[in-house]
Amino acid sequence: MLATMAGAGVDTSQAAKAIREMEQDPGYLAALKMRELRDKLASSMANLQRLWEQDPLYDHVEKRSRVSRDEFMARYVRGCRPVVLTDVAADWPAMRRWSPQDLKQRFGHLEVQIQGERSGNLRYEADKLKHQRQVNLGEFVDRVLAMGRSNDEYLTANNELLRRPEFAPLLEDIGSLPAVCDRDRLADLSSFWFGPEGTVTPLHHDTLMLFHTQVVGRKRWRFVSPLQTPLLYNHFQVYSDVNLDAVDLRRHPDFAGVKVLDVVVEPGETMFLPLGWWHQVSSLDVSLSFSYSNLDLPNQYTYANPNITNW
pLDDT in tens, 64-79: 999 999 999 999 999 9
pLDDT at 13: 92
Q: Are residues 31 and 133 in the same domain?
A: no
300 pLDDT more than 90: yes
Q: With respect to residue 6, please indicate whether it lies within any of the assigned structural domains.
A: yes
Q: Are residues 234 and 92 in the same domain?
A: yes
Give 256's pLDDT tier (boundaries 50, 70, 90): very high
Q: Are residues 193 and 288 in the same domain?
A: yes
- 141-164 b/e with 16+ CB inside 10 Å = b? beebeeeeebbbbbbbbbbebbee
**Average pLDDT, rounded, for the chain:** 96
Nearest residue to 191 (alpha-carbon basis) of 72, 281, 118, 77: 281
Percent of the chain with pLDDT over 70: 100
210 Cβ contact list (under 8 Å, min separation 6) = 272, 273, 291, 292, 293, 295
Mean pLDDT of 39-52: 97
302 Cβ contact list (under 8 Å, min separation 6) = 207
pLDDT at 173: 98
Q: Which spans in the chain are helix H?
A: 2-7, 12-23, 26-53, 69-72, 93-97, 100-107, 137-147, 168-172
pLDDT at 264: 98
Mean pLDDT of 45-58: 97
Q: Are residues 145 and 235 in the same domain?
A: yes
Q: Are residues 113 and 193 in the same domain?
A: yes
pLDDT at 311: 87
Q: With respect to residue 300, please indicate whether it lies within any of the assigned structural domains.
A: no
Q: Are residues 187 and 283 in the same domain?
A: yes
**The one-letter amino acid at 187:** A
Q: With respect to residue 127, please indicate whether it lies within any of the assigned structural domains.
A: yes
Q: Are residues 95 and 21 in the same domain?
A: no
Mean pLDDT of 72-95: 98
Task: Count up the domains in the chain and report the number.
Answer: 2
Q: With respect to residue 298, please indicate whether it lies within any of the assigned structural domains.
A: no
80 pLDDT more than 90: yes
Cα dist. 7→11, 160, 168, 202, 232 in Å? 9, 54, 66, 38, 32
**The one-letter amino acid at 152:** D
pLDDT at 159: 85
pLDDT at 117: 95
143 pLDDT more than 90: yes
C-beta neighbour count of 14 within 10 angstroms: 11
Give the predicted TM-score (pTM) of the model: 0.93
Task: List % helix, strand, coil for the chain (3-state, nearest 5).
Answer: 35, 20, 40
Mean pLDDT of 268-273: 98
Q: What angle do CA 198, 199, 200 make, to 5 degrees?
A: 110
pLDDT at 158: 84
Q: With respect to residue 299, please indicate whether it lies within any of the assigned structural domains.
A: no
Q: Are residues 111 and 233 in the same domain?
A: yes
Percent of the chain with pLDDT over 90: 96
Q: With respect to residue 247, please indicate whether it lies within any of the assigned structural domains.
A: yes
Spatial separation of the C-alpha atoms in residues 262 and 222, rounded to whole Å: 4
Q: DSSP label at 4? A: H
Q: Are residues 83 and 35 in the same domain?
A: no
pLDDT in tens, 6-35: 999 999 999 999 999 988 999 999 999 999
Structural domain boundaries, residue 31: 1-54
Give 157's pLDDT tier (boundaries 50, 70, 90): confident
Is 282 within 8 Å of 199 (Cβ atoms)? yes
